[in-house]
Amino acid sequence: MAQGKNRGFSSAAGLIQYYDMEETKALKVPPEIVVILGIAVGVLVEVLAWKFPT
């Protein structure tokens, strides 16, 4: 193994690597928004299934 290279923690035979640095360009969505959108989509699907039965 090469010494001196900081490649982060590796798992699954090197297929997945975890790094200590945080991605700064990623879109950040609060968990509350994800839950609210999930509930809203579920309600919408149920309303549409009730309104337009197959």
Q: Name the 3-class secondary structure at 16.
A: strand
Does residue 39 belong to any structural domain of this protein? yes
Does residue 10 belong to any structural domain of this protein? no
Does residue 27 belong to any structural domain of this protein? yes
The predicted structure's pLDDT at residue 7: 57
The predicted structure's pLDDT at residue 39: 98
The predicted structure's pLDDT at residue 40: 98
CA 24/CA 12 separation, integer angstroms: 26
Domain that holds residue 54: 23-54
Going by the DSSP 8-state scheme, the letter that residue 7 receives in this structure is: -
CA 7/CA 28 separation, integer angstroms: 25
17 forms beta bridges with 10
Does residue 50 belong to any structural domain of this protein? yes
Share of the chain above pLDDT 90, in %: 44
pTM of the predicted model as reported, rounded to 2 decimal places: 0.54
Does residue 8 belong to any structural domain of this protein? no
Instruction: Give residue-wise pLDDT tens across range 20-39.
Output: 666 678 888 999 999 999 99
The total domain count for the chain is 1
